[in-house]
Amino acid sequence: QVQLQESGPGLVRPSETLSLTCSVSGVSINNYYWSWIRQPPGKGLEWLGYIYFSGSSKYNSALGGRVGMSMDTAKNQFSLGLRSVTEADTAVYYCARDNQMGTEYYFDYWGQGALVVVSS
């Protein structure tokens, strides 16, 4: 059974870096794409980017180049970093598997989400 679990600080100061890790169990992170998606309180979903086990990645340009992702295959984990955060980055952050289903990719497994509040 595939399971994902986000972890990291729940409070980040403005201008600092938000860092989250997603621990994956039930499947090797090799050979899959892994995404981060966020949801501000009471609002919709925003895709932040993906990382692949080869190290390739793609990010949402709406984040203005502030996002980075990495993988630790030995620990079966991948991570998100979001620099220079503001209150607008307060959200529940989800990690998800971006799986090829047919010819395209969809988010078929999600973590439970981690609320990160940006506040001084």
Binding interface with another protein (CB under 8 A): 35, 44-47, 58, 60-62, 94, 96, 101-108, 110-113
Give the nearest distance from C-beta 70 to another protein in angstroms. 19
CA atoms of 52 and 116, how far apart (whole Å) = 24
Spatial contact of 85 and 16, defined as CB atoms under 8 Å apart = yes
Compare residues 53 and 110 and give the one whose CB is closer to another protein: 110
Query: Beta strand 3-7 with 104-110: parallel, antiparallel or unpaired?
Result: unpaired
CA atoms of 95 and 40, how far apart (whole Å) = 15
Compare residues 14 and 26 and give the one whose CB is closer to another protein: 26
Compare residues 76 and 99 and give the one whose CB is closer to another protein: 99
Give the nearest distance from C-beta 32 to another protein in angstroms. 15
Q: Return the structure tokens found at 27.
A: 């499947």
Spatial contact of 83 and 63, defined as CB atoms under 8 Å apart = no
Give the nearest distance from C-beta 120 to another protein in angstroms. 27
Give the nearest distance from C-beta 27 to another protein in angstroms. 15
